Structure 1
Amino acid sequence: MKVKEVSQLTGVSVRTLHHYDDIGLLTPDRTTQAGYRLYSDDNLATLQQILFFRELGFSLKKIKELLTSPAFSRQEAFEMQRKMLLEKRKQLDSMINTIEKTIQHGRGELVMTNEEKFKGFDFGENPYEQEARERWGDNAVDESNKKAIQFGPELGEEMNRIYFSLAGVRHMEPSSDEAQARIGEWFTFLNKMGSYSLEAFAGLGEMYVADERFTKNIDQFGEGLALFMRDAMAVYVKKGK
């Protein structure tokens, strides 16, 4: 299958498949003289495995280490993924049960305790905050948190709107007028929260791909979105100079 056919079959963008090839994570079995990538059934099985790992939060670097290990067993990996997905489903089931009870509570059909209202949530610490403090200092992070409180829920809603908007055009060329207009909204939004120069904006785009935590969070809105945003941000910066 050609790369476009694989993209249509799996929902993974062509840009992401090219990226997987570039980093040696998923190299097609054949390449034609014209340069077309040709994926075998074995390649598709590997891609399925990669997507299971991605769904479970594994970084691309870690996935590559696992797949290239001499001790790697595809069947054992599936067994492990199944176990982890069942644990994930257990947590999701708990959260669904909580929201169903909350709806009934709102209708007056039952009474929930405060503890029951938060069952199933993961209240882990922000994984980025300590790193941000080390990079940019307490003042910068405190100011950002202050603005987040000031804008309230509207801030998250606006952020999600822009992410979904960008995800809708991620299959376009990053240099297209539509992509550039939407990435411009992202630049404007970020400067509501802080002060981003064009150079800092480009550097942030690189981090979206280099740091797997960012990639995972952004790609929740659409597979390959982080990579698309990086490229679109680079074009935006180049045009702005």
Structure 2
Amino acid sequence: MSDADEAGGLTVGQASARLGVTVRALHHWDEIGLARPSLRTTAGYRLYTAGDLERLHRVVVYREIGLGLDRIRTVLDDSTADVPGALRAQRTQVAERIARLQRLSAGLDRMIDAHERGLLLTVEQQAAVFGPQWNPDWPAEARRRYGGTTQWQQYAERSASRGPEEWQAVTDAMADLDRALGEAMDAVVTPGSPEADQLVERHREVFASYFPLTRQMQVCLARTFETDPGFAAHYDGIRTGLAAWFRRIVDAGARAHGIDPETATWQ
């Protein structure tokens, strides 16, 4: 005999504990007529019979697989309802939900890897995209230096969605900009001129592939390009003196926007 039979019925609290649902849910199902207790005590308390518990159990099962309460009512009360069809439709929805969650999980894995590694490319892919001069240890070094910054987080979020083709597009855009800078220096483009300012803006736009670059940050970056041996070697390898010239056009552009290059900070 069940507890319901022995006692003539289970209270709401007992039924809640038996079925693993909240008392509030049982009250709601009672109010909407989905699963009502058949008995009442002399004091007016609800009591669920064995038959009531069986219906409640079915409600719980159908709700667990994702059926809405109206659909559950139809399945339980409509003798003409196509129960297998309803379950197949629900199975399809569950499969779609699982596929979405799997994609979400894969995306989270990539985001975690990007925050930890910076680049989600193999060593061979890095060499193919960035060229033979690329050092695959640089991303790890960058994370050690900048891993706690907002810019690293922004960079990682962009990196997570990129494969070799997307990184190749970024690399090509940077190479095109480098060529344009070298050609402008050859043409003696004057800092502060419209042509120079266009290149400064183009640099900010292209660099945004890594993280958003404010004008003050650009001033700091141009300063680094001139003073850091590695960056200076890159730019001076394009044109002798290009790192210093680039800093001058960035500084001139900053002044035009009310920024003093001498006091600019990384913000």
TM-score grouping bracket, smaller chain normalisation: 0.3 to 0.5
Tell me the TM-score normalized by structure 2: 0.40
Tell me the TM-score normalized by structure 1: 0.44
Larger relative CO (CA 8 A, sep 6+): 1 or 2?
A: 1
Instruction: Work out which of the two has the higher radius of gyration on C-alpha atoms and give 1 or 2.
Output: 2
